[in-house]
Structure formats: structure tokens, C-alpha cells
Amino acid sequence: MTTSSRNEFGDFLRSRREKLSPDAVGLNDDRRRRTPGLRREEVAELAGIGVDWYVRLEQGRTVRPSDTTLDALARALRLGKVETAHLRALAGNGDRVAFTRESVPPAIERLIARLDVPAYVTGRRWDILTWNTAAADLLGFDRFAEADRNILVFMFIEPESRRIFGATWSDEARRMIALFRATHDLHADDPAFIELVERVRSRSREFARWWDAHDIRSSVAGQKVLAHPQRGTQRYEYTTFQANDDPALKLAIYTPV
């Protein structure tokens, strides 16, 4: 693991430990706790590993947990399938190529231009790389400066996003953070990712609070309720696709219900 991935690995362990109550894992403890969640020694005992070893993992020291240890930690911390996959990804994260803004192949640009429903393409850092007329009409991407064409910036800094999402803004914003966190943690030492997170954190108290919760989710299709200034509120089904040319590119399509 690189230094940043070790830090994110330890932070993820700590965040999950602090969310577990003794009752949730069958521990009967009437002693008053100064901090929420389980103690480190309790997690170590549940996982069947040494306390010092667990402390080294959580503190981000230079250690490489085995698959057996990762499985034991996942069971001890009651991790779900997505969280377990994220823990494994962090443990196996090696040196990565520095981030550079992606380019969209012309064939994909022509494809989304011909769609009559909102569609756009994002990159690894969730930069908004290209979009069609329907997406510009609904989400207003064409009004943003190039440096602001990013989903997190749009959601947490642009005031327009709160009007578009209305009462669902909070739930959708938290979902986006959990999705982005899964990617961010694998690139946590990259200056481009650091700059983005610090920029949004400094402008949004909600982002700072929810980011520190370290929630993780996987991307799935679903529905969103969005408001258009002229046409009013409408429900959309959304889904995303990865490009064969570059798996970092994701095409999002919104279909009116």
C-alpha cells in the first residue's frame, strides 16, 4: 500500500469501528464509554488478531494484511459486500499514474449528441467532460466555467443544484459522496483529487460533515426527481455505462418516466 492508501485504509477501519455498538456484535459491556463505537481491542478480539497488529493497521503503518485478515476484519466490523470490496481495494492499492483529465472519443460525443434525453460523460474525478443539448437544458452544464464542470462542484457549490433536486437534494448529495469516496480513496494522494475535495469542503459544511462519515456505496441505476424552470418537476430513470475505450469514462443517461 502507498502512504495515502494506508491512511485511507486506517481511516476506513476507524470509521466503521466507531459506528458499531457493543450490542450489535454481542458484547455485554456496562462500562461508560468516552467515545462511540467499539474499542480497538474489541475489534481485534472479534477478528482474532493481535491488538498491536490491529492498531498498526488503523494507524496506517507499513503493513500488508493477508486475505485471511481482511476477511476477519470484514466479519468483525459487520461490513457489507460493497464495504468489503472497498477494504480489499484499499489493501491492494499500489502506485498509480498521476491523474490527467480524460478526453472523450469522437464516436461517444456523436452518440450522446444524437440522444433526445439528457446524457453526459464524466471522468475518474467526476469532471463533466461532454453533454448533450437535453442535459444542458435540464442541468445547465453549459453555463459553468470549465474549472467548475465537476459533479461535486455542481452539487455542493452551485446554488442551482438545490433548486433542481428540491426536497431530494440532501439524500442525493449524500449518495454522491458515498459513490465518489470509493474512487477517491484509491487516489487520495493525487494533487487533483486533493484540490477538489479541499475546494468543496471549504465551500460546503454539509460536504465536510458527510465526507468525514466515510460512507461507501456502489453505483446502481435508479430514479431521480428533478425540477425544470419551465416544465416543472419530473421523475427520471438514470443509469450509467463504462466506456470500453477508457473505463474511467462513464456515460450517464436520464430517461423521463
DSSP conformation class of 228: E
Give the pLDDT score at 33. Answer: 64
Backbone angles phi, psi at 237, to 5 degrees: -90, 135
2 pLDDT exceeds 90? no
Arithmetic mean of pLDDT, 169-186: 95
Q: Which of 28-37, 149-158, 175-184, 185-194 has the least mean pLDDT?
A: 28-37
Look at the block and give the residue holding cell 425544470: 228
Q: Which of 24-33, 108-117, 208-217, 237-246 is the least confident region?
A: 24-33
C-alpha cell at 17: 469501528
108-141 pLDDT, tens digit per residue, is 999 999 999 999 999 999 999 999 999 999 999 9
Instruction: Look up residue 97 and give its three cell numbers.
Output: 499514474
Whole-number pLDDT of residue 64: 82
**Residue 3 pLDDT exceeds 90:** no
Contacts of 74 (CB under 8 A, 6+ apart): 83, 84, 87
Asked whether 224 and 206 are in contact (CB, 8 A), the reply is no
pLDDT at 4: 62
pLDDT at 49 over 90: yes
List of domains in the chain: 3-91 (1.10.260.40), 106-256 (3.30.450.180)
Q: Alpha helix locations (H) across the chain?
A: 3-19, 40-47, 51-58, 67-76, 81-91, 106-114, 133-139, 151-156, 160-165, 169-184, 191-203, 205-211
Residue 63, burial from CB neighbour count under 10 angstroms (0-12, 13-18, 19+): middle
Q: Counting beta carbons within 10 angstroms of the beta carbon of residue 181, is it exposed (0 to 12), middle (13 to 18) or buried (19 or more)?
A: buried
In Å, what is the CA distance from 163 to each residue of 119, 120, 152, 169, 209? 20, 20, 16, 8, 21
Q: Is the pTM of this model over 0.85?
A: no
**pLDDT exceeds cutoff 70 at 62:** no
Average pLDDT over residues 239-252: 94
User: At residue 98, does pLDDT exceed 90?
Assistant: no
- Across 47-54, average pLDDT: 93
Say how many CA atoms lie within 13 Å of 209 toward its Cβ: 7
Report pLDDT for 17: 93
Specify which residues 60 forms β-bridges with: none
Q: What is the pLDDT of residues 201-233, one digit of tens each?
A: 999 999 999 999 999 998 888 999 999 988 999
According to the model, what pLDDT value does residue 212 have? Answer: 92
Q: Is the pLDDT of residue 30 over 80?
A: no
The pairing of strands 128-131 and 119-122 is antiparallel
> What is the pLDDT of the chain when averaged over all its residues?
91
The cell numbers describing 32, all together, are: 461508560
Decide if 188 contacts 4 (C-beta within 8 A). Answer: yes
**Strand order across the beta sheet in which 232-242 lies:** 128-131, 119-122, 250-256, 232-242, 222-228
Give pLDDT, residue 241: 95
Tell me: pLDDT of 106 over 70. Answer: yes
Tell me the pLDDT band of 61, cut-offs 50, 70 and 90. confident
Q: Which of 154, 168, 138 is nearest to 228 (CA)?
A: 138
